[in-house]
A and B are shown apart, each in its own frame.
Chain A
């Protein structure tokens, strides 16, 4: 096993992208950007990575340029965050419908206003329906490990779709933590050279992005939906192959001490780790609590999620962004819709946590678990709990 080194997660993620032998990078290089593209520019500048590095004037241009470079057959990477992702919005749908296997790292952060540079999931939840494969990394090691996974899935001929690697802004992106690097040979074994299904080539002219008249548009969208749903199988295969390469096992839905649990928490992203510490503390006191968390967000791993729940009677679901005016916030909305008609009807308590960088402590998760255990006993319904908000 390689020795761990202490390094910032963003830098490690950039190193991982470089070691995937990316050929094209486009980025808007200033805020709201992370250190990822800055570090990749050093790789290119130092002559250690043979890639086209294209700094552009906005994120709208960054993703547009990435589409162009991917369309001619280059393995293409970009990264953004927050308002930057929002500015890409229009092109993100095109990227998916053009079936361009771009990989984008998104350091999840709040959206203005008020202006906020801090962490929550507002940016990515606003892009839920863009048609990209979307996965969450919880820590720096996962950021490093999952970049090659993203390329392997995105470029698979059964998928050929773009993929987003989500990780929490600041509390992961700017964290120095121990990360075990793969050797270059491991990357090369895991990730074959990109062989595009179709590309723009002047020697063999073709057209991408034509008009979809009413006679064809619907079928194109149906195909796109189906291929995204079917990509789950490819993600699972790629995760298995990843375990053979680096020894770490990741799954589309993961459970933590949930097997005999009375209550479990459902959440996405790095706060899972803080929640794990709360689980360990409460388990030490004999309380049966656990975690079930989807790692894959799109396509949503419905069957795996339902199976992971077993017969657990009470769930807490933690959202990290608002669906303004909606009955439920995004994750709770997803979980409730997945369970309706599934034959399982656990009691669901909804929580809002960690908005705009608001810190969440282990003790707060412990309190939430105690509340879930109470609900299990008394069977009462709880209104949505806005944890830590001042009145």
Chain B
């Protein structure tokens, strides 16, 4: 079973990205879950969402404490939230930043596998708003192969309708441009 934790700010789409991941995994004929860290909804405040993907039925309703993958949608969170808390040593950190990999490693202290993508700029280019959830999914799929890109494309089309094309363009660019750095 793979466990995921998403860090973002309210309004940025972290919950949606967890949901899209689970929907896609089910389309891939796997078992999956996605759920927010339930609480009052506050735009701009740090929020978390969780997902699980498994070949077998998932019988578990607790939060994710030892994720295999952490996605960070907002780089400014790393100074206020311990985003790598519980992340397993052979896990993957996917983070939105325009900074070089070395600088991201320095800022996060993460020595394991790392994927960096300039999420906000890619989102601004295609979606014209700093909402980078679909962008981050493109980087995640490239770095982990945890779900099929084609099924994710379908999930994004179903969810976003009219604005699906710009989201798909952003997701594709993230897939093409994400920098992946193997861990120490």
Residues of A within 8 A of B (CB): 4-8, 117-118, 168, 170-172, 174-178, 270-271, 273-274, 276-277, 280, 357, 359-362
A276, B38: Cβ atoms closer than 8 Å: no
User: Contacts A359-B63, A362-B60 known; A174 to B32 CB distance under 8 Å?
Assistant: no
Secondary structure of the A contact surface, majority rule: mixed
CB nearest neighbor in B for A175: B35
Contact residue among A4, A117, A176, A362 (Cβ-Cβ distance under 8 Å from B33): A176
A176, B32: Cβ atoms closer than 8 Å: yes
CA distance A331 to B113 in the complex (A): 47
User: Contacts A175-B35, A176-B34 known; A274 to B59 CB distance under 8 Å?
Assistant: yes
A176, B22: Cβ atoms closer than 8 Å: yes
- Given A170-B38, A177-B32, A360-B62, 6 more contacts at CB 8 Å? A6-B32, A117-B39, A176-B33, A176-B34, A274-B61, A276-B59
27 A-B pairs whose Cβ atoms sit less than 8 Å apart in the complex: A5-B26, A6-B22, A6-B25, A6-B27, A6-B32, A6-B34, A117-B39, A117-B40, A170-B35, A174-B35, A175-B33, A176-B22, A176-B32, A176-B33, A176-B35, A177-B26, A178-B26, A178-B31, A273-B59, A274-B61, A276-B59, A277-B59, A277-B60, A280-B59, A359-B63, A362-B60, A362-B62
B23, A6: Cβ atoms closer than 8 Å: yes
Q: How far is the CB of A283 from chain B (nearest CB, A)?
A: 13
Query: Chain B residues with Cβ under 8 A from A118's Cβ?
Result: 38
CB nearest neighbor in B for A141: B57
CA distance A341 to B24 in the complex (A): 53
User: Contacts A6-B32, A117-B38 known; A177 to B22 CB distance under 8 Å?
Assistant: yes
CB nearest neighbor in A for B27: A6
Residues of B within 8 A of A (CB): 18-19, 22-27, 29, 31-36, 38-40, 58-63, 65
User: Contacts A118-B38, A170-B38, A171-B35 known; A176 to B59 CB distance under 8 Å?
Assistant: no
Query: Chain A residues with Cβ under 8 A from B29's Cβ?
Result: 4
Query: Chain B residues with Cβ under 8 A from A8's Cβ?
Result: 19
Which 9 A-B pairs give the minimum distances between C-beta atoms? A6-B26, A6-B23, A273-B59, A176-B34, A171-B61, A170-B38, A176-B22, A178-B26, A276-B59
CB nearest neighbor in A for B23: A6
CB nearest neighbor in B for A277: B59
CA distance A117 to B19 in the complex (A): 21
Query: Chain B residues with Cβ under 8 A from A177's Cβ?
Result: 22, 26, 32-33, 58
Q: How far is the CB of B179 from chain A (nearest CB, A)?
A: 30
CA distance A276 to B56 in the complex (A): 14
CA distance A276 to B33 in the complex (A): 17
B23, A7: Cβ atoms closer than 8 Å: yes
CA distance A151 to B25 in the complex (A): 33
Q: How far is the CB of A318 from chain B (nearest CB, A)?
A: 13
Central interface residue in B32, B34, B61, by most chain A CB within 10 Å: B61
Query: Chain B residues with Cβ under 8 A from A6's Cβ?
Result: 19, 22-27, 32, 34
Contact residue among B25, B40, B61 (Cβ-Cβ distance under 8 Å from A273): B61
CA distance A302 to B24 in the complex (A): 43
Q: How far is the CB of A368 from chain B (nearest CB, A)?
A: 14
CA distance A132 to B60 in the complex (A): 30
Contact residue among A5, A170, A174, A273 (Cβ-Cβ distance under 8 Å from B60): A273
CA distance A270 to B61 in the complex (A): 7
B24, A361: Cβ atoms closer than 8 Å: no
Q: How far is the CB of B183 from chain A (nearest CB, A)?
A: 27
Q: How far is the CB of B48 from chain A (nearest CB, A)?
A: 13
Query: Chain B residues with Cβ under 8 A from A361's Cβ?
Result: 62, 65
Query: Chain A residues with Cβ under 8 A from B26's Cβ?
Result: 4-6, 177-178
User: Contacts A168-B61, A273-B60 known; A357 to B38 CB distance under 8 Å?
Assistant: yes
B38, A274: Cβ atoms closer than 8 Å: no
Query: Chain B residues with Cβ under 8 A from A174's Cβ?
Result: 35-36, 38
Query: Chain A residues with Cβ under 8 A from B19's Cβ?
Result: 6, 8, 176
Query: Chain B residues with Cβ under 8 A from A5's Cβ?
Result: 23, 26-27
CB nearest neighbor in A for B32: A6
CA distance A175 to B32 in the complex (A): 10
CA distance A274 to B61 in the complex (A): 6
CA distance A174 to B33 in the complex (A): 10
